[in-house]
Amino acid sequence: MIQTYLSPAAGKRLIAKALAARADVQTALKEHTILVIKGSTNAPLAEELLKLCGYDEKVRGFYRGIFKPAEAEAKYPVNKCDLIFRKGEVIRDKTVFDIADELGPDDIAFKGANAVNPLTHQAAVLIGNPTGGTMVPLTKAVIGKRMKLIHPVGLEKRNRNDLNMMAQLCNESSTQGVRMVVSPGTAYTEVDAFRDLFGIKAILIAAGGVAGYEGGCFFLLQSEEEALAKCRDMLAEITAEPPFEL
């Protein structure tokens, strides 16, 4: 067994690498459609998928609603579009609202989440848009067309409460602030990434930090030495991941 600490940025990169390595994702990338919704957790995933298509680039301004300090100023313009991969072609000028009706059971959409219950793999999304935002077309595609919806989400957003109850409270007519929807999709966390990449059982044992590590997670990793050795090699790379830049 070994232990490792992942900052939120490192956790996002780990999740991105694991998802990009999945067989179903690689098949969809070559033969079907993948939709990557703008978000801070999806930015590293967009970069990893772009690499598979022959592009080595940083994805900047790739977010919609975010929590940030009031004094934080953006260095990069906000990207107006989501990122779409259709049979290996990269489409950069459309959003989920343009293509959701075209998506079906062979296609995959990725969207970040604001809360995850690690016990049930449920993900919930906060909604600021009074018309329901991106979750409306995504939910229609999941329920109506059986599209696969995956939520890459770090365990710093863990919430072991009943997310359906949390959504009900947020959506009460007397409640002020954002709404919440529990997604029909599936959450994908660092624990899933360790399992898929290395066959390792990861257990969250502690969390927290300072100076940008406030949301970091401390994991105990259990597996055979060969798998742990491979994991160490990747950890040496991803633990240097810089924080998300606006």
Answer for the pair 8, 216: CB distance below 8 angstroms, yes or no: yes
For residue 61, is pLDDT > 90? Answer: no
φ/ψ (deg, to 5) at 35: -110, 125
- What integer pLDDT is reported at residue 99 of this predicted model? 95
For residue 69, is pLDDT > 90? Answer: no
Instruction: Give percent above pLDDT 90 in the chain.
Output: 80
Q: How many residues does the chain have?
A: 246
Interior/surface letters 144-167, b for 16+ CB within 10 angstroms, e for the rest: eeebbbbbbbbbbbbeeeebeebb
- Euclidean distance between CA atoms 56 and 37, whole angstroms: 19
pTM of the model: 0.94
- What integer pLDDT is reported at residue 40 of this predicted model? 92
- What integer pLDDT is reported at residue 244 of this predicted model? 81
Q: Which residue has the tokens 């949301």?
A: 215
- Euclidean distance between CA atoms 172 and 174, whole angstroms: 5
The crossing angle, in degrees rounded to 10, of helices 8-21 and 23-31 is: 70
Q: Which residue has the tokens 């009943």?
A: 162
Higher pLDDT, 73 or 164: 164
- What integer pLDDT is reported at residue 67 of this predicted model? 76
Chain-wide mean pLDDT for the chain? 93
- What integer pLDDT is reported at residue 241 of this predicted model? 86
Q: Which domains does the chain have, with CATH numbers?
A: 13-190 (3.40.50)
